[in-house]
Amino acid sequence: MAARVACASIAPTAKHTATVIFLHGLGDTGDGWCQEFRSRAQHPWIKYIFPHAPTQPVSLNMGMNMPSWFDIKGLSPDAPQDEVGLKKSSDLLRSIIDEEAKSIPSERIVIGGFSQGGAVAIYTSLTSDIKLGGLLAFSTWLPLHTKVMDIVKDANKKVPTLQCHGDIDPMVPFTWGKMTAMLLKQLNPEHEMCKLSGVMHSSSPEEMEQCRKFLLKSLPSQ
């Protein structure tokens, strides 16, 4: 595991043949998602890693310090974006991927995240030269949407992708999720979008069941 980031984790209970790396949302830590996966989407051959974001000022919250993968300056699609911070967190995620790929094939690694963490995971998947095993994108959006299509690499253009989004999400509107899905489907025929009826900006049992099945299919037992 990369030494420069603190993480919650779930150790495999059988021979380790796959890894999931999942990034939490703004103001959170990896601990809650660790518990969620332990309860609803754990497979014995998979190691689960839940990095904790660094604490830093967030413009959207009047510059208050909180766990954040990058600065958020506004909630509109045309708001300025923290490209430097996004890339820094993407590099951190890549370092964890690289560490795991020392012991298992990179195609046996799924990355993902919720909200802000999902944005980092999407960006990393699209811009990485390392072929991954899958992408989980929960209640999130495509960052740098006006630029990212110009820097997409070929490695993960067909990576299995599960995107889930609540249809009454007040923080990251479902319309953003639909626009993200539309753009990603142009690149990736293996992209699947799941609408979560009556779900706000949170996880749900339906989402985690979809996740459990996705991991079973993308990272089957060996």
Instruction: Catalogue the active-site residues.
Output: 115, 169, 201
Q: 2: which 2 tokens?
A: 């990369």
Distances (CA, A) of 56 to 42, 67, 151, 190: 31, 6, 27, 35
Residue type (1 letter), 15: K
Helix and strand numbers (H, E) in the chain are 5, 9
Distance in Å from the first CA to the final CA of the chain: 22
* 8 Å CB contact between 133 and 125: no
Residues 130, 134, 136, 141, CA torsion sign: positive
Spatial neighbors of 144 by CB under 8 A, at least 6 apart, are 81, 83, 86, 123
